[in-house]
Structure 1
Amino acid sequence: MKHHDVTIVGGGCVGLSTAKHLSEQTDLDIAVLEKEHHLAEHQSGRNSGVLHPGFNYPPGSKKAQFATEGTRRMKQYCATHGVPCEELGVLVVAKTDREEAYLDVLASRAEANGVEYELLDSQAEIREHEPYAVGQAAFYAPEAASVDSQQYTYALAREVQWNGVTLYTGHAVERIRKQPSGYHLTTSNSDIETTYLVNAAGLHADTLAHQVGVGHGYQVVPFRGEYYEVTPDRTKLCQTMIYPVPDPDLPFLGVHYTRRTDGKVIVGPNAVLAFGREAYQNTDVNLAELKEILTYEGFRRLLQSKTMLSVAWSELNKSYRKTAFTKAAQRLVPDIMEDDLHKSYAGIRAQLVSKDGKLVKDPLAIETDDAVHVLNAVSPGLTSSLPFGEHVATSVIEMENDSSSHL
């Protein structure tokens, strides 16, 4: 049976970033367990690939810190490792007086977080940036970028293996058992023992944490985000990124436009309850996981909100009716037509919900004496992955130092 000093469950961008920083700062024997045979099969590879520079997060918050630092560090990392990354900028378009007023909030947050921005107060100024976008005002952030998240994840994997980290693929962790000194992990391939555990299992992080008595006040509720791709002859409709003004009461941004590093333009995502943690099609159903969601006290309390019920119905409508999705897309770019959009990929967000029915909006990592459970690497998880992984690695190093001092 293999034994490692530190075992990281989850070979996504947060797990691999943690391995990177641990391997750079310590001589510990580190392993990463990834349940799939290929990396970036789930959240780390099924996202919009946008680097969010941090203008939408409260000053002083972990989100703001991780996003601003993460954007800067990711651009440097991509340049060093040959990962496609283009600084395109993002245009947040206001359609109503209420939305225009919220642009001032974005501006004040950008100012406090050190994010470059510009306020545009006319349709003419909007069209200087995006000729087909329509609105009465907009917020422009030039530092937003598009990155190939799959290539980034593989670059991290190559780097950590070069640093001596053991990467196991095809090792789905089925059971974690606490031992007097560390943990015993039963996987689909072999058993592994470890002194320290980092649970960065994304969609399944809460399930694994619950096995060792951690995080029982929370559960992951999966929300599927579906994307359409604009036909190649119509990609002129979006030159960079076009976003709606965010609703501060909701964690989901709404349908928006993103030009990717390969030149494709994607539109989406919606945010519909997935009937399983890996139910990527709207016809996919995992009955056991769906029952777990529907019987969860926190989910039932979440649905007591009339706002959430209204949003849920609207998002479900977009999932099953292309006409409804197109209408949402036309709010920002009226020239887009239903025939311009073709089904692309879907991702699933591991949205953490507390027992009292609250959507957990901030990063959440619960520490014990010998483990870190990353229960919520919430958006912008890709953007934040380098500083967030360093944060988790620092926690493990402190555990090791505390343990050594007691010897």
Structure 2
Amino acid sequence: MIQHDVTVVGAGCVGLSTAKHLAERTDLDIAVVEKEHQLAAHQSGRNSGVLHPGFNYPPESEKARFATEGTRRMKEYCEAHDIPCEELGVLVVAQTDREEAHLQTLASQATANGVEYELLDSREKIRAHEPHAVGRAAFYAPEAASVDSQQYVYSLAREVQQAGVSLYLGHEVETLRPLSSGYLLSTSNSEIETSYLVNAAGLYADTLAHQVGVGESYSVVPFRGEYYEVVPERADLCRTMIYPTPDPELPFLGVHYTRRTDGKVIVGPNAVLAFGREAYQNTDVDVRELAETVSYRGFRKLLASKTMLTVAWSELNKSYRKQKFTEAAQRLVPSVREADLRQSYAGIRAQLVSDDGELVKDPLTIETADAVHVLNAVSPGLTCSLPFGEHVAGLIAERAERL
């Protein structure tokens, strides 16, 4: 029987950041348990790699605080650990009166959150930043950056191991059982007894929490985001990052352009219901997990919304019809052609949905006497990972200090 003071389930950027800060703050015996044999296999490695500086979040919200602090700290961390990170800036383009009006909201939020920005009021000013982008007006934030998220996760893993944290790869937590003091984790390779638990299991955080009666009014609904890559000879279509104006009613940013640290330009993602929590291809189906999703009352209530049904149909079309994906990309850069895009990778977003059919947009942790369950750490989870992990570590440290 393996024993530890604290066991973190999930070696993604949030789980590893939590372990890092807990090791720095305490003398506790800490372990991180990861079901895969390699790191960054899921959300932490299958993303756009963008650091969002915080203009898109309401002032004084947790997202705003974590994003602004997280962007600054991530840049410092990448510089200190030689991780590719380029401050490219982002251009948020408005095409309609409604979108142009929302740019003023972004500007107000940026001012309140201390984010540098510039409002561009003409097509000419937009083209000075991105010659191929088209819009009526735009919001420009120079602090947005592109980072190699996989190298970041591996760097965190090296750091926690050097701090004495045990890292168990290939250990899938199959059952979680409360003990008189702490928990027993039965994994695919061992049994671990722990005094404190951090559930940072991402796509499966809700299923682990439900095993111990926590967070039963929420469930994860997986949304797949698919990316295309602009062929190298046309990569000059995007110099930096080009985003559409976000819809404040939806948690998805919409198809956008991102220049990565390796020089590639990716386009996407869409946001389509995944037929399984790890169904990365649109032909992948996990019958049991799909049945769980469609039978979940929160999901059924979500789809009762006419807006969500319209969005779902549009996103589904982008997944199965490249022409529709290209049309979404052409809204920002009209000169891009279908032949300019080749299919790249996909990620799956662990979107938490409540029983009443609401998309949970803010970070959500549920604390018990001897555990912290991270049920929602959605975008910008990568950006926020350092301060958010520090926050979760503090919750566990406070519990340990009281004993």
TM range (shorter): over 0.9
* 1:314 CA drift (Å): 0.1
Residue 133 of structure 2 is aligned to residue 133 of structure 1: yes
Residue 324 of structure 2 is aligned to residue 324 of structure 1: yes
SS of the residue 2:189 aligns to? coil
2:232 maps to amino acid = P
5 Å matches for 1:1-400? 1-400=1-400
- Cα deviation digits, residues 48-89 of structure 1 (max 9, x gap): 000000000000000000000000000000000011000000
SS of the residue 2:246 aligns to? coil
Q: What is the TM-score when the length of structure 2 is the normalising length?
A: 1.00
Separation (CA, whole Å) in 2 of partners of 1:339 and 1:303: 34
Separation (CA, whole Å) in 2 of partners of 1:187 and 1:83: 32
Separation (CA, whole Å) in 2 of partners of 1:201 and 1:395: 17
* 1:97 CA drift (Å): 1.2
* 1:201 CA drift (Å): 0.1
* 1:384 CA drift (Å): 0.2
SS of the residue 1:326 aligns to? helix
Give the gaps of 5 or more residues in structure 1. none
Separation (CA, whole Å) in 1 of partners of 2:393 and 2:192: 20
SS of the residue 1:285 aligns to? coil
Separation (CA, whole Å) in 2 of partners of 1:216 and 1:96: 41
* 1:401 CA drift (Å): 1.4
1:13 maps to amino acid = C
Separation (CA, whole Å) in 2 of partners of 1:289 and 1:19: 30
* 1:295 CA drift (Å): 0.4
2:56 maps to amino acid = N
Separation (CA, whole Å) in 2 of partners of 1:288 and 1:25: 41
2:205 maps to amino acid = A
- Cα deviation digits, residues 6-26 of structure 1 (max 9, x gap): 000000000000000000011
SS of the residue 1:4 aligns to? strand
* 1:246 CA drift (Å): 0.2
Separation (CA, whole Å) in 2 of partners of 1:26 and 1:102: 45
Separation (CA, whole Å) in 2 of partners of 1:132 and 1:81: 35
* 1:341 CA drift (Å): 0.2
1:253 maps to amino acid = L
* 1:103 CA drift (Å): 0.3
RMSD between aligned residues: 0.3
Separation (CA, whole Å) in 2 of partners of 1:163 and 1:394: 17
1:73 maps to amino acid = R
Would you say how many aligned residue pairs link Structure 1 and Structure 2?
Answer: 403
Q: After the TM superposition, which parts of structure 1 deviate over 6 Å for at least 4 consecutive aligned residues?
A: none
2:83 maps to amino acid = V
Separation (CA, whole Å) in 2 of partners of 1:343 and 1:189: 36
Q: What is the TM-score when the length of structure 1 is the normalising length?
A: 0.99
1:23 maps to amino acid = A
